[in-house]
Amino acid sequence: MDRIFERLADIVGSDYVSNAAEERFIYSRDGGVQMPHEPDYVVLPNTTEEVQKIILLANEEKIPVVPMGGGLVLSGLSIPLKGGIVLDMKRMNRIIEVNEKSHYAVVEAGTALGMLSAYLNKHHPSLKNSLPDAPPVATVAGNIMIHGSGHLSQSEGGFHSEMVTGLEVVLPTGKIVKLGSCSTVPYWFSRAPLPDLAGLFLGWNGTTGIITKVGIKLFPRPLLNDGLMFMTEDVDTVPDIMFRIVNTEMCEDLTFFITPKPAMFEGFQMTIISITANSEKEMRLKKEIIRDALRDYYESKEAGFVPVPKEMKAFLLEAPQKNLSAFADVRKGGGFEYVGAIIPVEKIPDAYRAGLDIAAKNGITYSLGGRMIGRGHSFMFYFAYPFNRADKEDMDRVRQALDDTNHAALKMGGIPWKAEVSGQQLILKQMEPSTYEFMQDIRKLLDPNGIMNPGNWEVNP
Amino acid sequence: MNALNFDPGICAKCETYDCLMKCQYMDFDLESAREERWKLIRGEDTRILNDCVTCYACEEYCPYNNHPFYLIVERQEEKGIHPVPKPIEKSQIKAMAPKGVIAPMKVKEPVINMCYFPMMLGTIRGKLFEGASAIVGSDIFCNLMYLHFARNSVIKERLPKMIENIQKNYLEPSGVKELICYHDECYGTYTSWAPAFGIEVPFKPIHLFEYLYNRLSELKSEIKPLNLKVAYQRPCSNRLSPEIDHFVDDIFGLIGVERVNRKYDHENALCCGGVFEAQQRFDLMEKNQTLNVDDMKENGATHCVFNCPFCFWTLSDLVSQKGMTPIMMSDLCHQALGE
Ligand SMILES: Cc1cc2nc3c(=O)[nH]c(=O)nc-3n(C[C@H](O)[C@H](O)[C@H](O)COP(=O)(O)OP(=O)(O)OC[C@H]3O[C@@H](n4cnc5c(N)ncnc54)[C@H](O)[C@@H]3O)c2cc1C
Ligand code: SF4
Ligand code: SF4
């Protein structure tokens, strides 16, 4: 019997470790186009202490550890590029605390975002968390480790990683540390006023440690939810339109999409303005203020607010947006590449044109869009390319589109989001060498044996 | 081709200029009404072109059936006026374009034309529509809504084909001569717009209300009077067939419903406001919606009956928020039959 397997079974119990071929096959891939690579073991820990023991073992054996949440990142970031252990965090899904007055929740890292949302709905109906449009099984930790964003990113402070109030981390050496106010007092209210160490982990794709607990901000949940759709035919006007809407500070979420189907949307850009309010009066006022901000556009008749039937409105306003998941399957065969780039707001037209050119050049289906991050501080532009996994040529086309998209994003002054290894290489090539060296110094310091998600964020993986 | 049958000579003799004097959205005295109407007739610029909200009502106001509204739409289009922003207009023209998927189908009388409202097909059921065939879709869509967009040209281009589609695929092969129009818009198209533009209609259009009245009369013994006080929300396209209005009272009489005496009914009906949203006239939209629902409530209605699905979607939430029940006319009749 495999010695490492036995020691892992001693730690988590034999039901929660596997090296069976079928398990290794499943954990070797995700929904995107990245090449599969099998782990040697799949382990599902139940506690921080079990995580710690696994990390100590991995150090002793010098084998890689790749943390995984929902496995929905689609860019291969939880594929074990060098084998070793995939640490599936889904059993660590307890909601430990909700502090209503200080608006935060403390959850275990593997808590699904949908589960947190449902829990709040039931037990704390006046509060909500920001939800990405990912399927609801995406985890709180997996999402902040890629600087994810969601339906409160525009109104409530940016990327989800910016909504983190505290962390518990198992360092690559096995030490357990708490970061933020929870390191000093029993409350997880914020990362300030202490020196902020959370940035050593957030957005690092699991290359610097295992997150075991997260303090995450919650926000008020107003009673009413409505929205407006603004339609344009000239993409160059979109940044100004977004700028004006953001500056009213009246909307909760601000997104944008273009799609060739159905026909009524082809050739137009749709800006979706989600509005929440506690009374009809407030809702009317907010809509009026937003409409006024765009008055000269609609009076010119070159753009305008589209009357949206109730059913379509419900569809457009739901969080998470199920239509993206539905679109993911249009080609059938279970393949979906969902690439993003974080770009300056004024580059939306460039991203739009690049997306259309890339889709046309590679002959692929597309859906493009994005979300305003913060009060107009940056824009998450997504390029979604579904494909049929059973069709090799289809996959090659999407792989090429992905590469083209990464190049285009960097060229226009944006940065590929949740970049796969080849995208990371492109970014690193353009990064200030001293910044890259600093990153590597930190990794060496934290992870002397190089066990954490190796192959990622390295010039020569 | 398809020139509007509008006679300036009739206007020259007109003493009332009712078309503009009665307009609910623009104020005129007789002198200014005459002046602006003639500017319009001569093809000159006039405030009518931009201020007309396309409520259709002057088609009803004109005592000589001289088609004042259709002339406004002709002129708006000639002058490149877009009441609805251009991207929305283009998108709607694309969305509602004929898909060309119609195929011959055997139909049985009564044949109900459901226009392009496939979601309303569920109402064609029960004793009320026993044995009926329903037809629906982009290939039989009357396209009259483009009046609101000042795009008569789209109707002119598409309507002849739609009429042919209905006739050749459904009615003629089945030997059916009558078409029951569920939506006022289709009925108005075939009885008002098409003749005004010299387009021949080979079948006999019947308004849904006439059909409902006749059918309910046949089923009279099975009707359980509803004893409701109902506000009727008259749709814009009913302005093209005001002669139908008495059927509302006739139907209500049969099903035991009182038509509340609201201010905004009959000739003084007020648009639901849905079109104003597309035309970006948001203040007017809110004003009309508030006036409408307040008027229903103040006059003691417990229900608001619609015949236009679009008015229903526009006002149903507000009607419900006021504690009244929004309902389509066909569903109200189903209820009276216990269906
Ligand atoms: C249809 C669709 C729509 C999407 N929409 C959005 C969107 O609107 N916004 C958005 O942000 N994303 C979106 N995504 C992308 C992605 O699914 C989400 O960001 C998701 O939250 C990732 O979480 P996960 O749990 O699946 O992470 P995983 O894929 O499991 O992991 C992501 C990264 O985090 C690391 N990691 C996971 N858990 C830990 C841990 N405990 N400690 C350390 N590292 C860890 C992994 O190693 C990996 O590098 C979408 C995806 C799909 C399929
Ligand atoms: S359109 Fe009719 S109401 Fe108007 S001026 Fe001419 S005849 Fe009179
Ligand atoms: S259509 Fe309505 S708004 Fe336009 S002129 Fe006629 S009555 Fe007035």
Asked whether residue A450 is assigned to any structural domain, the reply reads no
pLDDT at A332: 64
- The answer to whether A302 and A234 are in contact (CB under 8 A) is yes
CATH number at residue A275: 3.30.70.3450
Integer CA distances (angstroms), B81 to A114, B1, B151, B283, B336, in order: 48, 21, 9, 21, 46
Nearest C-alpha of chain B: how many angstroms from A356? 19
Note whether A229 and A216 are same-domain residues: no
* Res. A337: pLDDT tops 80: no
Q: Categorize the per-residue pLDDT at B329 as very low, low, confident or very high, splitting at 50, 70 and 90.
A: very high
Which residue, among A338, A307, A313, has the nearest Cα to A325 in the 3D structure?
A: A338
Note whether A339 and A288 are same-domain residues: no
**Which domain does B256 fall in, by range?**
220-336
CATH number at residue A53: 3.30.43.10
* Res. A333: pLDDT tops 80: no
pLDDT in tens, A305-328: 999 988 788 878 887 777 766 666
Number of structural domains (chain B) is: 3
- The answer to whether B269 and B87 are in contact (CB under 8 A) is no
* Average pLDDT along chain B: 97
B233: which residues sit within 8 A by CB, 6+ positions away?
Answer: B269, B272, B292, B296, B304, B305, B306, B308, B311, B315
Note whether B45 and B134 are same-domain residues: no
Q: Categorize the per-residue pLDDT at A330 as very low, low, confident or very high, splitting at 50, 70 and 90.
A: low
Tokens of B47: 């405030």
Note whether B140 and B159 are same-domain residues: yes
Prediction pTM value: 0.94
**Which domain does A230 fall in, by range?**
224-317
What residue in B sits closest to A289 (Cα-Cα)? Answer: B282
Tokens of A197: 């160490």
Note whether B235 and B324 are same-domain residues: yes
pLDDT in tens, B45-103: 999 999 999 999 999 999 999 999 999 999 999 999 999 999 999 999 999 999 999 99
Instruction: Ligand 1: list residues with CB < 6 Å.
Output: A 66-74, 77-78, 89, 109, 132-134, 138-139, 141-143, 145-146, 148-150, 205-206, 210-211, 324-325, 328, 336, 338, 453
Distance CA B286, CA B17 (A): 29
Final residue of a domain: which of A191, A220, A249? A220
Nearest C-alpha of chain B: how many angstroms from A260? 12
Backbone angles phi, psi at A421, to 5 degrees: -55, -45
Note whether A192 and A207 are same-domain residues: yes
E strands, B20-140, in order: 111-113, 133-135
Would you give the DSSP letter of residue A11?
Answer: H
pLDDT in tens, A225-284: 999 999 999 999 999 999 999 999 999 999 999 988 888 899 999 999 999 999 999 999
Is the CB of A304 less than 8 angstroms away from the CB of B94? no
Q: How far is CA B27 from the centre of its chain?
A: 24
Residue A429, classed as helix, strand or coil, is helix
Using a 10 angstrom Cβ sphere, with 0-12 exposed, 13-18 middle and 19 or more buried, the burial of residue A73 is buried
What average pLDDT does range A432-442 have in this prediction?
97
pLDDT in tens, A90-149: 999 999 999 999 999 999 999 999 999 999 999 999 999 999 999 999 999 999 999 999
Q: For strand B228-233 and strand B257-259, is the pairing parallel, antiparallel, or unpaired?
A: parallel
pLDDT at A312: 80
Note whether B40 and B73 are same-domain residues: yes
Note whether A105 and A201 are same-domain residues: yes
Number of structural domains (chain A) is: 4
Residue B322, classed as helix, strand or coil, is coil
Q: Which of A280, A288, A304 is facing B85, going by the closest CB pair?
A: A304
Q: Categorize the per-residue pLDDT at A350 as very low, low, confident or very high, splitting at 50, 70 and 90.
A: very high
- How far away, in angstroms, is B66 Cα from ligand 2 center? 6
Q: Categorize the per-residue pLDDT at A14 as very low, low, confident or very high, splitting at 50, 70 and 90.
A: very high
Q: Which of A264, A288, A306 is facing B94, going by the closest CB pair?
A: A264
Which residue shows structure tokens 């004097």? B21
Residue A373, classed as helix, strand or coil, is strand
Distance CA B193, CA B186 (A): 10
> What is the residue-wise DSSP string for A65-78?
EEEESSS--SSSTT
Q: How many CB atoms lie within 10 A of CB A173?
A: 16
pLDDT at A325: 67
User: Could you give the ipTM of this predicted complex?
Assistant: 0.92
CATH number at residue B243: 3.40.50.11810
Q: How many angstroms separate the first and last alpha carbons of chain B?
A: 48
Q: Categorize the per-residue pLDDT at A387 as very low, low, confident or very high, splitting at 50, 70 and 90.
A: confident
Asked whether residue A419 is assigned to any structural domain, the reply reads yes
* Res. A8: pLDDT tops 80: yes
List the 58-97 stretch of B: residues with Cβ below 8 A of A. 82, 84-88, 90-92, 94-95, 97
- How far away, in angstroms, is A143 Cα from ligand 1 center? 4
Note whether A216 and A99 are same-domain residues: yes
pLDDT at A33: 87
